[in-house]
Structure 1
Amino acid sequence: MVATVSRRTSVKGPGRAAAAARSRIRSAYPHWFYLPAAVVYGALFLLPTVVSFYFALTRWTLFDQEFIGLENFALFFAEPALVKGLVNTVIYAVVTSGLKVLLGLPLAVLLTSNIIGRAYLRSAVFFPVLVSTIGVGITFTILMHPSQGLINDSLALLGIEGPRWLTDPSYALLSVALVDVWKGIGLATLIYIAGIAAIPPEYLEAARVDGAGRWATFRHVLLPLSRPATVTVIILSLIGGLRSFDLIWAMTRGGPGFTSDVIASVIYKQYQAGFYGLSTAGNVVLFVLVTAIVLPLAWFLGRKEVRL
């Protein structure tokens, strides 16, 4: 019996060693497979990010540089136009992300119900996401023209005098934000549709058995169980709103004056004017702003996430 046990041990020993060796060989390939992507990510994102923190402390051109410490940041926050861009950025991000949540969830509930033409309506809602942002900006610039635009002409037929959407300082930023919502609501709706589809049907069936109406089912079942989708929509919309540039530049160029400027458009104007150090400091401010808002918010919203 001892000999048998020893033979079994001797057989199992080399087998385990060979299995461990094969496991090490198999695990080596995925790690090396990540290397090209890691090199590209480091070269195109990590390295420029680190370098930008240094150049934000300098007055630089393409040929020389001068270290000036925090002077660029002091100048950034001392300029009213630059501070206005910072405030507008936060307002724009909050308005666009809030409206996408408020409109995306009801649309998703509608488009997951048994309505006629559901597939067509889903395509129609998602279509603006596929259109070029610059194309959308140019189109709505024409539609929102104060005297010749289709929107104000339609309001005139109802006896309503339309505002100067993009030339009135009181309306310019909000007008661009509404166009941003129109373009991005399809993605928010799609995320909510996926979230609703992931809810086990037993929950909805139990609500019907208990006699819950549509509002009660929405409030006590769909709304809390759609929280992961809501978190995703909020985070993605906030990041997009804080980094928004192309739509604003296509529609208003930050005008009239500086009333619809955001940090990204301010940075671009500073680059155009040759203030490279100041614009780099603006990029750092934008990076810190996005990080300071998104990371704590993602942690706060994710910790109370409903687990199915």
Structure 2
Amino acid sequence: MTADTMAVESRQVRVSGKRRRNFSYPTWFFVPAAIVYGVLFLYPTIASLFFSLTRWTLFEAQFIGLENFAQFFREPFLIKGLTNTLIYAFVTSGLKVVLGLLLGVLLTSQIIGRGYLRSVVFFPVLVSTIGVGITFTVMMHPTQGVINETLALFGIKGPGWLTDPNLALLSVAFVDVWKGVGLATVIYMAGIVSIPQEYFEAAKIDGATAFQNFWNITLPLARPATVTVVTLSLIGGLRSFDLIWAMTKGGPGFTSDVIASVIYKQYQAGFYGLSTAGNVVLFVLVSIIMVPLSVWFNRREIEQ
């Protein structure tokens, strides 16, 4: 290697390194984001952990250790709220995944009125959650609601959708699915549209049926959309409050209470330390479910 060649290569390395330095972000560039993250997330999280160990009011705080957590797990209605939260989250997320996928496949196929149907499916997402809750509360009235009156026309006696302890939580869950399935559908539509058409053309040449196309092409290649829908739906279900409060306020009794509504009731009753402990329990519950799930999803994506 000649001296001229070595000089050229050395100059190229210096230029390349200089370009990398010019395009790399300086450390201070991240300071504003770090401040926002610390103020809006880190500090409230640490403060919640501290106040969950105290019996506090707006003016004072008395340290009591883990007593709030011990009381939380001793109270039957609090355990009921924890159980209902898990049921609600898995029912709503499961139905959103299944219905969102089916609607996504339907609304990306060549059907009449496809644009109009897409608007109809997505419209509930744009409506106020409280408005949806109030509307369905009226519709699900056991004697005067339009749902039971419609069933009565066919000789069917409708149940107490929101007054029957066995149906109240599931009734709210189905309303949640009706409102949120439009977002899941849009995510699936984006995932399905991004699948290269060459796969379907090759399958058509091989004589594949519509179900085989769905099972062997659409379902596997729409996996990123499935991951997104599962993640958003589970987190939303675990944190759900507004729709449940608008429709049942946790009733009848405590049969449709979730952790968020129990926490709100404890705040209303003045048990601030206990309700803060409930917030910590909810945070831990979401983390225990979502962190391993995210790791599993990422591992599967790397393997594929």
Note closer, same or farther for the CA distance 1:201–1:25 as it changes in structure 2 (3 Å cut): closer
Task: Give deviations 1:233-271, integer Å, cap 9, x for gaps.
Answer: 111100000000000011110011100000000000101
Partner of 1:96: 92
3-state secondary structure, aligned to 1:305: helix
CA positional deviation for 1:13: 6.8
Partner of 2:113: 117
Partner of 1:74: 70
Partner of 1:235: 231
Q: Which runs of no fewer than 5 residues in structure 1 stay unpaired? A: none
CA positional deviation for 1:203: 1.0
User: What's the TM-score once normalised by structure 2's chain length?
Assistant: 0.93
CA positional deviation for 1:228: 1.6
The percent identity for this pair of structures is 69
Match for 2:58: what amino acid? L
CA positional deviation for 1:303: 2.3
Partner of 2:24: 27
CA positional deviation for 1:35: 2.6
Instruction: Write the mapping of 1:141-290 to structure 2, written as runs, cut at 5 A.
Output: 141-290=137-286
In 2: Cα distance, 1:305 partner to 1:57 partner: 40
Match for 1:53: what amino acid? L
CA positional deviation for 1:282: 0.3
Partner of 1:298: 294
Note closer, same or farther for the CA distance 1:17–1:206 as it changes in structure 2 (3 Å cut): closer
Q: CA RMSD in A?
A: 2.2
Moved more, 229-238 or 81-90: 229-238
3-state secondary structure, aligned to 1:303: helix
In 2: Cα distance, 1:216 partner to 1:13 partner: 57
Moved more, 18-27 or 205-214: 18-27
Note closer, same or farther for the CA distance 1:245–1:205 as it changes in structure 2 (3 Å cut): same
Q: Is the 8 A contact 1:231 1:302 kept in 2?
A: no
In 2: Cα distance, 1:42 partner to 1:306 partner: 31
User: What's the TM-score once normalised by structure 1's chain length?
Assistant: 0.92
Moved more, 217-226 or 279-288: 217-226
Task: Give deviations 1:138-176, integer Å, cap 9, x for gaps.
Answer: 111111111111111111111111111111111100000
Match for 1:287: what amino acid? F
CA positional deviation for 1:23: 4.9
Task: Give deviations 1:191-211, integer Å, cap 9, x for gaps.
Answer: 111111121111111111111
In 2: Cα distance, 1:179 partner to 1:43 partner: 35
In 1: Cα distance, 2:222 partner to 2:18 partner: 45
In 1: Cα distance, 2:24 partner to 2:114 partner: 46
In 2: Cα distance, 1:272 partner to 1:47 partner: 24
In 2: Cα distance, 1:32 partner to 1:116 partner: 55
Q: Is the 8 A contact 1:225 1:306 kept in 2?
A: no
Task: Give deviations 1:89-111, integer Å, cap 9, x for gaps.
Answer: 00000000010111111101100
Match for 1:257: what amino acid? G
CA positional deviation for 1:58: 0.9
Aligned residues: 304
Task: Give deviations 1:57-104, integer Å, cap 9, x for gaps.
Answer: 111111111111111011000000000000000000000001011111
3-state secondary structure, aligned to 2:300: coil
